[in-house]
């Protein structure tokens, strides 16, 4: 008999919840019964995600924030604790990509990508993990990328940020595992979000990328969200410190 995943009674925090993968994750976790704390920069799109999740009968709280701003991220984390008392599932999903050839890397771009993709997850984990440790359970899921596994031209800063996030994932797994917390990452290939579609229009470059994926297509946001749901659930309680590729077999070639 197949057990249905239930997250009833749990609170999940999802960053980058106004677009793409974040929207799909909010939908998936709310359908499983989790209450949600959602953040993003775009207030209107964030509220649309929240309204869709509320239709699944769960409590949804939102707050806009700029993930590149230390004070904003810290205030966001504290406000979440004030609202819910604690977070059981942390999904560090917010991320940005600004591609530049290595010799043309702009330090301001470097700083912003690292601040959003790497520093913000550190801050949020420092805020939410102590409560998980106190309660003796928790799930942390970090969204990395195929770019964290294999380099590509003009992607140096992005890959560095996502590769760093994967090593942070493993560090969290080692340090938090004894406290009943599992920390894992999900590494999608190109995903058909608005950002993915804009970055990979019809072109020889797109054709070459697809040729490396045995499935012959890019990922859908819901497929990434399904992996996040599994890693958020008790069914993954003995999985810790892994990077799960959602890539249609791209990494096997």
Task: List the end-to-end C-alpha distance of the chain, in Å, as a whole number.
Answer: 35
Picking from 114, 125, 133, 116, the residue whose alpha carbon sits closest to that of residue 90 is 125
Q: How many helices (H) and strands (E) does the chain have?
A: 9, 7
> And the tokens for 221?
């946001």
CA atoms within 13 A on the CB side of 167: 7
Q: List all residues 6 or more positions away from 4 whose beta carbon is below 8 Å from its beta carbon.
A: none
> Which active-site residues does the annotation give?
158, 162
Tokens of residue 140, six digits: 């942390």
Q: Which residue's structure tokens are 């990434």?
A: 224
Beta-bridge mates of residue 181: 138
Please name every residue paired with 11 in a beta bridge, in sequence order, or none if there are none. Answer: 35
54: number of Cβ within 10 Å: 13
Which distant-in-sequence residues (6+ apart) come within 8 Å of 201 by Cβ?
Answer: none
3-state secondary structure of 61: strand
The answer to whether the CB of 182 falls within 8 A of the CB of 237 is: yes
């Amino acid at each position: 008999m197949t057990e249905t995943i239930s997250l009833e009674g749990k609170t999940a925090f999802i960053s980058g919840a106004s677009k793409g993968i974040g929207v799909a994750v909010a939908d998936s976790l709310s359908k499983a019964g989790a209450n949600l704390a959602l953040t993003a920069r775009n207030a209107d799109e964030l509220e649309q995600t929240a309204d869709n999740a509320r239709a699944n009968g769960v409590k949804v709280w939102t707050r806009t924030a700029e993930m590149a701003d230390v004070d904003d991220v810290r205030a966001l984390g504290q406000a979440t604790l004030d609202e819910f008392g604690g977070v059981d599932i942390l999904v560090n999903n917010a991320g940005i990509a600004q591609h530049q050839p290595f010799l043309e890397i702009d330090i301001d771009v470097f700083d912003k990508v690292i601040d959003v993709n790497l520093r913000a997850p550190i801050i949020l984990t420092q805020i939410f993990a102590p409560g998980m440790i106190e309660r003796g359970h928790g799930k942390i899921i970090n969204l990395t990328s195929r770019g964290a596994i294999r380099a590509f031209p003009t992607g140096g800063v992005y890959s560095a940020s996502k590769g760093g996030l994967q090593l942070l994932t493993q560090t969290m797994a080692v340090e938090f595992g004894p406290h009943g917390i599992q920390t894992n990452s999900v590494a999608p290939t190109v995903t058909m979000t608005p950002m993915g579609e804009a970055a990979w229009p019809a072109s020889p470059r797109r054709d070459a990328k697809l040729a490396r994926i045995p499935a012959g297509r890019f990922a859908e946001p819901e497929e990434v969200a399904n992996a996040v749901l599994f890693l958020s659930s008790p069914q993954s309680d003995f999985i810790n410190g892994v990077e799960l590729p959602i890539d249609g077999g791209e990494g096997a070639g």
